[in-house]
Structure 1
């Protein structure tokens, strides 16, 4: 690979490359399509999977196919009118309600943290270094993920040399690249030290116990307590959290994901008076649409607003009688 190829390779995020390769493999190997593709073959591909794949998955497959053709110097068949019409037809005939991760509430965060604290103490008493490492790592991951509103892939890409923790004050986390960072400027995020459920103390405890000085903050840990050389795969964070929540006694643990930490913090912040601009700046959202996808209204069913306008039956009856008397007098 020459220098030009290296720079081109670096311009695309690893997760995107991996997912695009998987999409191309699906088209070529599983569906047995030919590349370069024609617009008609792409349209047939969409039609064949319209009932089994989600709209977002089909959209991603189109993006991967389009990028492959652009990279290889071929015309992009995914932009053809027939492909666009087929895709719109699928959206019309197979609408799917967007599924959102269940937000982790502050009380549940405390429940998980309390369980982890007990598990850390128990592992230390039993001289189980692997379990002690794992629980200490998980505590740092959950608390940083919640209070910083990080995505799963951001937690996986966090590196020790880019984290500066000041006990009792706060921590800064630098990510060389984040989602939507088209200019590759990187972003710095800050989190405060807290009187309880503290992400700074949890991070410091994990780094001290693991002895990490550089590289990925959150890594795999085998049964003998050996740490992996690279960061956790972002896809592994979801089952990790669900298993952890289930052990801590959180109901319906399978309804949570890495986004539950981000949504949980967003809902906590808005319910505690944070305005939208402050929340967007803290989390790193660039547009309101992105922020609103994570925030649930304080009164999601409108019950409080409607109930406030409902009078008790006795008062409503008196009010109606009064109105009738006024109307009768006006007629007389």
Structure 2
């Protein structure tokens, strides 16, 4: 059996009889005997976030490859197949979170084919619970990036592009200006990398105190039924001001509409395409490395984690922090500041030893 991508494992979709909308290659058919129009297929694709669908496709490819190596059908997956797969993953050292997502992918594919969900089988549930109890561990979190290290990273962003070509004068380094804005905006606005990648000029409004960012969608607001607002206040120090950095980047790059954060070519010119969320992760780690720091424990999420941790250390309340981060649960904030909180009002520090 050959390895199949997610879309190839789903029922074939016949083209609509009449539609002006181009067919989306990720569209799926939920009902065997009722073909979806192109418009309907687009809505089916929109039912899951793009990152989720990419993860499901990757997980399904991995599962079908595992099944092919053992000569068992992946669809419908027998309970023994699922438990064998989970057992192999666990023995290979896979994290519980990774295995949980793989199960979600299996469930999703079977639902699309109107097949029984194998993850609800009693055998699968029992093995999965045992794996969680045996191999469960706190999720690894990115180290928070906050002042003063954050400022060191920002200052390490190259301000000037020096050309090796004879006669070509130096000019402002566009990538450096973008990275500076990316770091400061990501930190102060406490944005996720997906939100930084999706930010558009049309989402930015000026305010007497700085800027207001409108997020039509986010991880906790995927349907867009409510609008989330994030403030970007001006800083007293222009070298550390997210508003100044953002406006300078947009001015230098000629960004007047569309995606805010874009790629920069070797010619020191901005492209028209928005950065991919994973590219933002790479850029943040590269900026940290430029500052002479070990980037292995950091990621793009370090900016958001850094905001929460630093705001807590500065005396901000959990509710005030959640107002900016848009966390729906105040308890979630505790995962960011657990190390600092462990020392707060703790009797072990009063023993006088």
- TM-score clears 0.5: yes
1:256 paired to 2:292: no
**Alpha carbon RMSD of aligned pairs, Å?**
2.3
* Secondary structure of 1:106 counterpart: coil
Measured in 1, the distance between the counterparts of 2:174 and 2:110 equals 46
* Secondary structure of 1:298 counterpart: helix
1:190 paired to 2:235: no
Q: Which runs of 5+ in 2 are unaligned?
A: 1-22, 24-37
| 1:30-45 aligned within 5 A | 30-32=66-68, 33-45=73-85
Measured in 2, the distance between the counterparts of 1:122 and 1:229 equals 20
Deviation per CA, 1:68-94: give whole Å up to 9, x if none. 111221111111111111111112232
1:120 paired to 2:159: yes
| 1:4-153 aligned within 5 A | 4-32=40-68, 33-52=73-92, 53-116=94-157, 119-121=158-160, 123=162, 127=169, 132-153=173-194
Shift of residue 261, structure 1, vs aligned partner: 0.7
Name the structure 2 match of 1:202. 245
* Secondary structure of 1:63 counterpart: helix
Q: Which runs of 5+ in 1 are unaligned?
A: 312-332
- Work out whether residues 51 and 94 of structure 1, in 8 Å CA contact, stay in contact via their aligned partners in 2: no
Deviation per CA, 1:25-82: give whole Å up to 9, x if none. 1111344252121222111111111122211010001011101111221111111111
Richer in helix (by share): 1
Name the structure 2 match of 1:286. 328
Measured in 2, the distance between the counterparts of 1:84 and 1:304 equals 40
1:219 paired to 2:262: yes
Shift of residue 136, structure 1, vs aligned partner: 0.3
Evaluate the alpha carbon distance shift between residue 303 and residue 173 of structure 1 in structure 2; reply closer, same or farther with a 3 A threshold: closer
Deviation per CA, 1:163-219: give whole Å up to 9, x if none. 1245x7211112221112154223221111111211111110010000012222112
1:306 paired to 2:320: no
Evaluate the alpha carbon distance shift between residue 79 and residue 304 of structure 1 in structure 2; reply closer, same or farther with a 3 A threshold: closer
> How many residues are matched?
306
Measured in 2, the distance between the counterparts of 1:61 and 1:40 equals 16
Evaluate the alpha carbon distance shift between residue 73 and residue 169 of structure 1 in structure 2; reply closer, same or farther with a 3 A threshold: same
Evaluate the alpha carbon distance shift between residue 228 and residue 82 of structure 1 in structure 2; reply closer, same or farther with a 3 A threshold: farther
1:173 paired to 2:173: no
Shift of residue 271, structure 1, vs aligned partner: 1.0
1:265 paired to 2:307: yes
Q: Of residues 285, 289, 295 in structure 1, which corresponds to 2:337?
A: 295
Shift of residue 270, structure 1, vs aligned partner: 0.8
Measured in 2, the distance between the counterparts of 1:172 and 1:124 equals 37
Deviation per CA, 1:236-268: give whole Å up to 9, x if none. 222221111111122x22111111111111111
Name the structure 2 match of 1:314. none
* Secondary structure of 1:104 counterpart: coil
Shift of residue 124, structure 1, vs aligned partner: 9.3
TM-score, structure 1 as length reference = 0.85
Segment of structure 1 superposing worse, 225-234 or 260-269? 225-234
Name the structure 2 match of 1:326. none
Bigger Cα Rg: 1
Measured in 2, the distance between the counterparts of 1:307 and 1:75 equals 56
Measured in 1, the distance between the counterparts of 2:169 and 2:132 equals 56
Q: Of residues 162, 185, 205 in structure 2, which corresponds to 1:164?
A: 205
Measured in 1, the distance between the counterparts of 2:162 and 2:217 equals 36
